[in-house]
Amino acid sequence: MPVTDEAEAHEPDLTWLEEDRLHEECGVFGIFNHPDAAALTALGLHALQHRGQEAAGIVSFDGEHFHTERRLGLVGDHFTSRPVIDRLGGDMAVGHVRYSTCGDAVMRNVQPLFVDLESGGFSLCHNGNLTNALTLRESLIKKGAICQSTTDTEVILHLVARSEKRLFVEKYIEALLQVEAAMPWWAPTRNSSARDPYGIRPLVLGRLGEAWVLASETCALDIIGAEFVREVENGEVVVATRDGLESHRFVPKYPARLCIFEYIYFARPDSIIGGRSVYDVRKEMGRQLAREAPANGDMVVPIPDSGVPAAIGYAQESGLPFEFGIIRNHYVGRTFIEPEQRIRQLGVKLKHSANELQVKGKSIVLIDDSVVRGTTSVKIVQMMREAGAKEVHMRISSPPITHPDFYGIDTPDQDKLLAAHRTLEEMRAFIGADSLAFISVDGIYKAMGYESRDDDHPQFTDHCFTGEYPTRLRDREGPPQQKQLSFLAEVG
């Protein structure tokens, strides 16, 4: 880790920087009973691209055969050509965009997964992470299971395959009861979808004419003109049939605890989650931040993209002008990976550039939604100073991230999180800002319309700030062990 000395932080050595931040999660999409199932799935995945950029896949079913196309890379690079869509025949399809949390970004881990079961084909995709996947995998392998991938998702296939229940939905539920997870799933042929007992990851249900649609976010319904019906409830399995929708519960109903980071950073601002507009919530977080941590500046500057709505809220509440003092290049994804150190130092200029005439000689209030490793903050503060900013005050619309995620977000190890072992002043010095402040944990809840966090029954999953994980983390219990999941080298 680099030094935290203030003088050095103003002229940071960027050579250590890695693209090791809060990466995205995954997006799932499924459609049942529509003649253009694959084409609509490709559109849905395009709308969910922000949730994962490593790989994309679609599996369709025509009543007799499954068809599968799974690729490393972006949806737009692989699923826009007529021949590819034509190969994915049938009136039901599922799709996935992946950011790996278990198993590398290699072809054998690209979802949706497919297997032949005794009762027919089964395809599955998943957003989240099974916190006991390694434990289950070990015991399955001992019993003779032959794993084809290194992703946690595959464990579900084995559990369903081994179930002795009669109906598919019963087999599926028996499998779900064995995993500890954050997980919306969608499984065609059986047209079933499930959301984890806490509802940590979002999953919505929509209707397009006679078709049922399931997606991680409402923005994927909007792109195909589907009507929002409702959210899949936590602990619910829904099964789409030509006669309607069946609903089964696999755990008793209790209050959901969505991951609060969906609102802060992951979801697209035009999505509606839990009845709240993500855009409005982000703006409200910015307003609350302005109330809690006012700053003396000439103008508010967002760190684009995800810092923009909070910055608008901050500017409105503080009465300061809002200016785009940083321009973001839209041809660089959320997770651009620079190939070597020398190039990495240029990385920030590839993604963000100073709008010099706006910031020169000004005292600016920089707003971002989160600080993970501090990579972005260090780069941007330095860039603002090089562009001639007089003062740089940094305000963050989420509390300090002190704990890693194990539910589908690829966070760095705890010791790489900037806030894990530093005081506020140490973080300020590290970033090189003139002042630094984060919204409080209660402030986040206020922005969501509550008086404060209910410590007895927290309204959201907020372990990143509080260290309070809602599920057991079974794979991490006991002494840390290096597990080799496979003897096959993981290459793309």
Ligand X SMILES: O=P(O)(O)OC[C@H]1O[C@H](OP(=O)(O)OP(=O)(O)O)[C@H](O)[C@@H]1O
Ligand Y SMILES: NC(=O)CC[C@H](N)C(=O)O
State the binding site for Mg(2+).
306, 368-369
Q: Which is nearer to ligand Y, 30 or 443 (CB)?
A: 30
Q: Which residue is nearest to ligand Y (CB)?
A: 26
> Is the Cβ of residue 68 or residue 382 nearer to ligand Y in the bound state?
68
Among 100, 101, 192, 375, binds ligand X (CB under 6 A): 375
Nearer to ligand Y, 158 or 395 (CB): 158
Residues in contact with Mg ion, total (CB under 5 A)? Answer: 1
Binding partner selected for residue 374 from ligand Y, Mg ion, ligand X, none, CB under the kind-specific 5 to 8 Å limit:
ligand X
- To the nearest whole angstrom, how small is the minimum distance from the Cβ of residue 81 to ligand Y? 25
Report what 26 binds from Mg ion, ligand X, ligand Y, none; CB cut-off 5-8 Å by kind. Answer: ligand Y
Query: Strand 55-61 and strand 185-187: pairing?
Result: unpaired
Chosen from ligand Y, ligand X, Mg ion, none, partner binding at 375 (C-beta under 5 to 8 Å by type): ligand X
The 3-class SS string of the chain reads CCCCCHHHHHCCCHHHCCCCCCCCCCEEEEEECCCCHHHHHHHHHHHCHHHCCCEEEEEEECCCCEEEEEEECCHHHHCCCHHHHHHCCCCEEEEEEECCCCCCCCHHHCCCEEEEECCEEEEEEECCEECCHHHHHHHHHHCCCCCCCCCCCHHHHHHHHHCCCCCHHHHHHHHHCCCCEECCEEECCCCEEECCCCCCCCCEEEEECCEEEEECCHHHHHHCCCEEEEECCCCEEEEEECCEEEEEECCCCCCCCCECHHHHHHCCCCCEECCEEHHHHHHHHHHHHHHHCCCCCCEEEECCCCCHHHHHHHHHHHCCCECCCEEECCCCCCCCCCCCHHHHHHHHHHHEEECHHHHCCCEEEEEECCCCCCHHHHHHHHHHHHCCCCEEEEEECCCCCCCCCCCCCCCCCHHHCCCCCCCHHHHHHHHCCCEEEECCHHHHHHHCCCCCCCCCCCCCECHHHHCCCCCCCHHHCCCCCCCCCCCCCCCC
According to DSSP, the residues that pair with 244 across neighbouring strands are: 241
Q: How far is the CB of 343 from ligand Y (least distance, A)?
A: 27
CB of 55 to ligand Y, least distance (A): 9
- Per CB under 6 A, the segment of 62-70, 126-134, 154-162, 430-438 that binds ligand Y is 126-134
Residue from the set 171, 334, 385, 453 that interacts with ligand X by CB under 6 A: 334
Report the nearest approach of ligand Y to the CB of residue 52 (Å): 6
Residues 251-270 close enough to bind ligand X by CB under 6 A:
265
d(CA 3, CA 13): 10
Across 43-61, b (16+ Cβ under 10 Å) vs e yields bbbbbbbbbbbbbbbbbbb
Contact window for Mg ion (CB under 5 A) among 80-88, 155-163, 219-227, 302-310: 302-310
Which of the stretches 125-133, 159-167, 278-286, 421-429 binds ligand Y when contact is defined by CB under 6 A?
A: 125-133
User: What are the Cα distances from residue 396, in Å, to 263, 268, 379, 400?
Assistant: 14, 19, 15, 8
Which residue do the tokens 């369709």 mark? 60
Told to check if 306 binds Mg ion by CB under 5 A, we report yes
Q: Which is nearer to ligand Y, 17 or 182 (CB)?
A: 182
**CB of residue 251 vs ligand X: minimum separation in angstroms?**
33
Active site residue 125: no
Binding mask 392-411 for ligand Y (x = CB under 6 A): ----------------x---
Q: Is 98 in the site for ligand Y (CB under 6 A)?
A: yes
Pick from 25, 231, 323, 369 the residue near ligand Y by CB under 6 A. Answer: 25
- Partner from ligand X, ligand Y, Mg ion, none contacting 461, C-beta within 5 to 8 A by type: none
Residues 113, 134, 240, 371: which binds ligand X (CB under 6 A)? 371
Question: In the stretch 134-153, what mask flags binding to ligand Y with x, by CB under 6 A?
Answer: -----------------xxx
Q: Does 95 bind ligand Y (CB under 6 A)?
A: no
Q: Does 397 bind ligand X (CB under 6 A)?
A: no
Q: How many residues bind ligand X (CB under 6 A)?
A: 18
| From candidates 22, 26, 203, 439, binder to ligand Y by CB under 6 A | 26
114 binds ligand Y (CB under 6 A): no
Closer residue to ligand Y, CB minimum distance, 151 or 375 = 151
- List interacting residues with ligand Y (CB under 6 A): 25-26, 98-103, 109, 111, 126-129, 151-153, 408
- List interacting residues with ligand X (CB under 6 A): 21-22, 265, 303, 305-307, 334, 368-377
Active site residues: 26
